[in-house]
Every structure is written in structure tokens, then in C-alpha cells.
Amino acid sequence: MATGKINVSVENIFPLIKKFLYSDHEIFLRELISNATDATLKLKHLTSIGEAKVEYGNPIIEVKVDKDKKLIHITDQGIGMTEDEIKKYINEVAFSGAEEFLDKYKDAEKDAGIIGHFGLGFYSAFMVADKVEIISKSFKDEPAVHWTCDGSPEFTLKEAKKSDRGTEIILHIAEDSTEFLEDSKIRELLTKYNKFMPIPIKFGTKTETLPKPEDAKEDDPAPTQEVDDIINNPNPAWTKQPSDLKDEDYKTFYRELYPMQFEEPLFNIHLNVDYPFNLTGILYFPKLTNDLNIQKDRIQLYQNQVFVTDNVEGIVPEFLTMLRGVIDSPDIPLNVSRSYLQADGAVKKISSYITRKVADKLNSLFKNNREDFEQKWNDIKVVIEYGMLSEDKFFEKAEKFALYPTVDGKFYTFEELESKIKDSQTDKDDKLVVLYASDKEAQHSYIEAAQSKGYEVLLMDSPIVSHLMQKLESSKENLSFARVDADHVDNLIKKEDTAISKLSDEEKEKLKGEIEGVITEKGYTVQMEAMDSSASPFIITEPEFMRRMKEMQQTGGGGMFGMGNMPEMYNLIVNTNHELVGEILNTKTAKKRERLINQSLDLARLSKGLLKGEELTKFISRSYEMIK
């Protein structure tokens, strides 16, 4: 038997491992099973090239918990280790990064990236165990070996009696980590981190029902048998070729990823690239709500089928974090900090590749089945609009498939829209004005006024629409968006011919003063406008610029304008050519004039959805009185 000291000059390495990684100490199981998987896959490779003269067979990794003895056993049937290899890989190589580890982290905050980053994967065992044993038999014709360490730099190494190939690691669980002796906890961790590992993982047994024999009676119970409980799927869908998968396979895999998700995904994108980096995966477009925050952290990141994280910001472009699915890349380190990932060159390439791939898939879906794409538009538009805002390359590609729906349920690409409206909706300054509504019901009268002029009105109701319009206006020449209630329709698209007012300038000034006197508390800016006599007498509008800045500020951005706490601002446009407006001007008594102004204003407010509460009650009472 040999004894010795692990090759590290600082004796307090174990307390440091425990201290710095305590917040994430559950990863010990992931690390040890990753090592077992590597050992098994190495054996597979060596047997395939004839270097290992053994039968590979159907190896499994087994995890066993002995609650009474406070032990966890992790056993593989992989390559195994000789005495010299244990000395090299466990006592020396694992600690080659120890000095760097101490220098970098002794005063640092906790960082979940320490262990994998410094080659200390095996030693994560000491986060939960106060003693660890390794019993290993190499595929080479050499004696088995037994290594023991109690969490100090001392170890013992002796020959073992193990006859079958592979490695068993035995953890003597520490008093502060007994939660890991619960079957339910181990099952939870295996499901979280190792659900798709490439080697079958056995954890206990389960009862399986067998077919009844032909001569069995109807009320005879079906026979059962105990079988190994393999808790992972070693061949998940993303490891297969797209040509080998059908639609149902993708849906089945989605249910496997998200067992509590009952809605089917809208469509999927299979990623498969081997240059300039390796990446596979499947992304799903789920049905999305307008709440951008609820959606995130649904994509799972793997490294060689080992779960790393579901916080993929920095790896996946931010607008795609609302999707679901899996990304697997051996080029992404298993354990590193987020700042490291975001600065990593390979990761940036991965991010731009995924952006391009998603854009190409959306374009092909649009081209191949436009009708289906239009039907799904409302469920996917938030992702696409967010992508157009945040990624310039995606913005360029989205020109081909981003849709602009109208209030009547028609869909146009921007090019189609431009072609449709340029003759009727170009103003006197040669600017194309795109009219839109954000709420069909609330803005109904304004939509009707625009449509009566032959104008097309878009329905743009996503939460980031103000930001998107700003981006479109700045990227295209002579384009502006105007919500239908931002002004009277004649002012939204100003043409050369302006209507002549029936009222003189003096009469307009006098009437304006009378109206301002009555509505002094209401906070409206009164504008006297000569419009068609069939247009409403009073119209309330909300200035496009002010309202849009306020909306942008509320959804992030536009804050420099300081609009966040501003009161709502409205214009009251008075149609000087309407018969009722002339009557208000010529009314003999102040009382009747005040009543007509208030009634007209309230009708305009009702049309705009601004008449509520006590004022609505008073308006209804007053209207009944007038009818009588």
C-alpha cells in the first residue's frame, strides 16, 4: 500500500472548494457522471479503432444510495484506471490549476465556474463528502486499485479485488449534506443535469407490466417484472439528423423537455453545424403572450449532452431567449462565468449563426406556406419585432417575412404595403404616411374616418411597437407612422387642398375663447380647424410624438425625454365648418352655450374612451334630460 500527499502546496484547498462552491454544490453529481460518461466513450473509441482488445458491450452508469451507511456509489463500465493513471490524473493533473485557483478566487465572490474551469471536476465530490474512495480496474491487463482520501491532502493507494472493468466512486456523505441521501433529491439532480447523457444511467429498478399469456383468464392480473430504471434518454432528437425525424418526433421531444407544457409548439428549427464551430440543437417557437418577461430562460444549454444552464443570454441573441428548446455545443465550456461566456469569440459566432438560421427558417416558412404563417403571426410577432429592434442583421433579413396586418385582417410585407398605399397616402411633402391603430374597438371612429378616405389602417398592438416604428422611420427615407387618433385624418396626411373655414378669424378666436373658458379644468389644447362639414364637430386627438415617447419610456427607452411621469396630453380639434359649431358660436345664452360645449366634448371623450366614472354618470343623466 502507498500513502502520500496530493501534489499541492497549499493545504487548505478542500475547505476552499467547499466554501466557494457551496452555493452550487449539487453539481458534484453532474461532474462525476460526466467523468463516468467520458471514461465509457473513451473505451468505445479505443475498441472501435482496435486499441482496446475488449468487448464494449452495452455499458451503463449506475448510481446507488445507501442511506443507512451514508454512502453514494457511482459506477461505470468504462476505460478504468491503473495505479499510475490514478497518481497522474487524480493526484497531479487535477491540482495543476490549484495555485491559479487560489490566487484568483480566495478573495473573490462565489463563482459556479470554478470547478470545471480549473480541471477540478472530480474534487467537486468533496463539496458533499468528507471521504471519497475510488476503486478502479483498467481495460489493460493490470491489477485493480483502491484510492482513498479524507478531504485533506493525504491519500492512500492500494491494490483492490475488483474484477470487472470500470470505476466505482464511493462518497461518504458529510453531515451538512445528508439531503443528497434522499432518492428523490438524486433523481431530481439526475433529471436536471443528466437527462440526455449519451450513456444509459441506472438509478434503482421499476416494475414493468408484461403481456398476459394467451391462456390467461380475463381477471388474471398481468405478470410484472423488475427492470433497471434508466432515467435518461441517451439519444435525444437533437443528436439525430433532421432527415431521420418526423413532425411527431419533434413534438414528442418538446413534451419530453417540457412535461408541464400542454400547448403544442408552432414550429421548430433544427440547428446542425460543424464549421467554424460545433453546434446542434432544436429551437421551438411556442405561442407567446405580450409579456416579454415571463417567457425567458426556457432554452436549455448542453455541452456534449450534459446540462449546463437554462440562462442562455449572451449565447443566444436576447430576442430568441423567448423561444424554447436545446442548444448543444462542445465549444462552450461546461463551467464558466457569464461574463466569460459573453466575451468569448466562439460564443459570439454561435449567437450570430443562430440569428441567421432562425431568419432563414422564418423566411422559408413564409415562402412555402404564407397562409399558415399569417395565421401564426400574432403568436410569433413579439419575437420577430424584438429581433428587428435589437439585431441589425436580423432586421435586414426580416424585410422578406415581417408582416404588417391591417384592421381588416389582411397581411402585407413592407414592400407590398408601400406599393398598395403610396398613391393615396403620400402627403404634400412626398412623405409616405402609414396609419395604424393599436385597439380596433377603442379607436373605431378614427379608423372609420380614415377608411372613408380610402386609407389603409394597420393594426399594430404589440408592446414594443413604438420602438419598432422609430426604427423603421430612421432606416427608411420619407416614411412616418401615425396612429389614427393622433390628429384629424386630414391633418395626418396633409394634401395641398385645404378646406376653407366658414368662420372668420375673429369668430374663430371668439369661439376658441368661449370653449377654453368652459373646459378650463379639463387640460385640452384647443385647435380650430376647417374640415369637411360631415366630419365630427369635436375630435379629441393625442399627439403622436408625445404619446409615442411616453410609450417608449414605459417599455424601456426614450427615458431621456423625461416623459415617464407626464400627464396624458390631448388636443381638442374643433371643426369650424360643422353646423353645431356655428350654433355654439351664435347661441344667445351663456348657459345653453356651456351645455352644448360640455355635451359635444363628452361625446368626443366617449368616442375616445376617456369618459369614465362620475363624469360618465353625469353625461348619461344630462343626455336623458335633453331627450325629455
The last residue of one of the domains, among 480, 497, 514, is: 497
- Tell me whether residue 466 is annotated as binding: no
Q: What is the CATH number of the domain that holds 196?
A: 3.30.565.10
- Same domain as 189, residue 139: yes
CB atoms inside a 10 Å sphere around CB 614: 7
Domain ends where: 352, 368, 384? 368
Per residue in 295-343, pLDDT (tens digit) is: 555 788 888 888 887 777 777 888 888 889 999 988 776 555 555 555 6
Radius of gyration over alpha carbons of the chain, in Å? 35
Q: How far is CA 94 from CA 2, 8, 41, 115, 523, in A?
A: 19, 10, 20, 10, 73
Judge whether 338 is annotated as a binding position: yes
Same domain, 492 and 515: no
Flag whether 35 is marked binding.
Answer: yes
User: The domain spanning residue 543 has which CATH number?
Assistant: 1.20.120.790
Question: 172: which strand partners?
Answer: 71, 131
Residues 348 and 427 in one domain: no
> What CATH number is associated with residue 457?
3.40.50.11260
Residue position matching grid coordinates 449546463: 308
Kindly report the CATH number assigned to the domain that includes residue 259: 3.30.230.80
Residues 516 and 479 in one domain: no
Query: Do residues 53 and 118 share a domain?
Result: yes
Is pLDDT of 118 > 50?
Answer: no
Residue 588 within a domain:
yes
In a domain, 420, yes or no: yes
Q: How many domains is the chain built from?
A: 4
Judge if 190 and 47 occupy the same domain.
yes
Q: What percent of the chain has pLDDT over 70?
A: 84
Residue 593 has pLDDT above 80, yes or no: yes
**Known binder of ligand: residue 413?**
no
Question: What angle, 0 to 180 degrees and rounded to 10, lies between the N-to-C axes of helices 345-368 and 370-390?
Answer: 150
Judge whether 76 is annotated as a binding position.
yes
**Mean pLDDT, residues 43-63 taken together:** 90
Q: Does residue 486 share a domain with residue 354?
A: no
Last residue of some domain: 458, 481, 497?
497
Domain for residue 320, yes or no? yes
Mean pLDDT for the stretch of residues 272-292: 80
Looking at the structure, tell me whether residues 138 and 20 fall in a common domain. yes
**Domain shared by 19 and 137, yes or no:** yes
| Contacts for 40 with CB less than 8 Å, ≥ 6 apart | 59, 61, 76, 77, 78, 79, 199
Task: Return the half-sphere exposure (C-beta side, CA atoms, 13 A cut-off) of residue 307.
Answer: 24
| 58 occurs within a structural domain | yes
Q: Residue 31 annotated as binding?
A: yes
In a domain, 216, yes or no: no
Claim to verify: residue 175 and residue 116 sit in the same structural domain: yes
289 part of a folded domain: yes
pLDDT at residue 439 tops 80? yes
Q: Does some domain include residue 218?
A: no
Residue 497's pLDDT is: 63
User: What mean pLDDT do residues 161-166 have?
Assistant: 92
In terms of residue numbers, what domain contains 200? 12-206
Q: How would residue 463 be classed by pLDDT, with cut points 50, 70 and 90? A: confident
- Give the tens place of pLDDT for each residue, 8-38: 544 555 666 655 544 577 888 988 998 899 8
- The helix or strand, by DSSP H or E, that contains position 224, with its residue range, turns out to be strand 224-230
In terms of domains, do 30 and 50 share one?
yes
pLDDT above 50: residue 56: yes
Shared domain for 491 and 515, answered yes or no, is no
pTM of the model: 0.72
